[in-house]
Amino acid sequence: MKVTETKIPGVLIIDTDVFGDHRGYFTETYSKPKYEKLGINVDFVQDNMSFSAQEGTLRGLHWQNPPYAQSKLVSCTKGKVIDVAVDIRKGSPTFGQWVSVELSEDNHRQFFIPQGFAHGFLTLTPDVEFRYKVDNVYNKESEGGMRYDDPTVNVDWGSLLQGIEPVLSEKDQIGPTLEESDNQFVYGENC
């Protein structure tokens, strides 16, 4: 297993070991002792999966506020996506900065996103299956979100979409900017 630090401390890209032969392949997608050695000391309590039928589907940017904040270990098990994490921790030296990684069924890559980050992804193929391992349960009252195209954050979706109009939920179309959002994360205090 290979771990790559991103420009934002704590956000990690994980390349799992894949063992293949003429029958197919095997990869270990999670082992608590191994991930703890990598510094991922969270107790995952829920696994989620989403399916996106259309290429150009954009989900995000979302989070859950404390006390239901979630760290996420995400991967794409069918198709290909660009996954994005945005630092939304008020007072953080990297507040408003973002990192992205391509996740696909071919690269078996994972992305670890700690609490205090907005998360979203863009499908680059049709029929995408996306997996989330999270360390807190879903709580509707704790939902938070921001516009995917917030100009102050400036995630470069445009070059990824290549002129395609993104497929968005109504909630994601009308979301607030990061500044307008109900973001309750404070660097060094609750995340």
Q: Edge to edge, what strands does the sheet with 143-145 contain?
A: 98-104, 80-87, 117-123, 58-64, 143-145
Find residue 157's DSSP bridge partners. none
Measured between alpha carbons, how far is 26 from 129 in angstroms, rounded to an integer? 18
The neighbour count for residue 152, using CB atoms within 10 Å, is: 10
Catalytic residue among 30, 68, 132, 187: 132
Q: Which two tokens stand for residue 115?
A: 């609490």
Distance (Å) of CA 121 to CA 60, 65, 93, 127, 132? 7, 19, 24, 14, 12
Catalytic entry in 30, 62, 68, 187? 62
148 is catalytic: no
Q: Tell me, yes or no, if 25 is annotated catalytic.
A: no
Catalytic residues: 62, 132
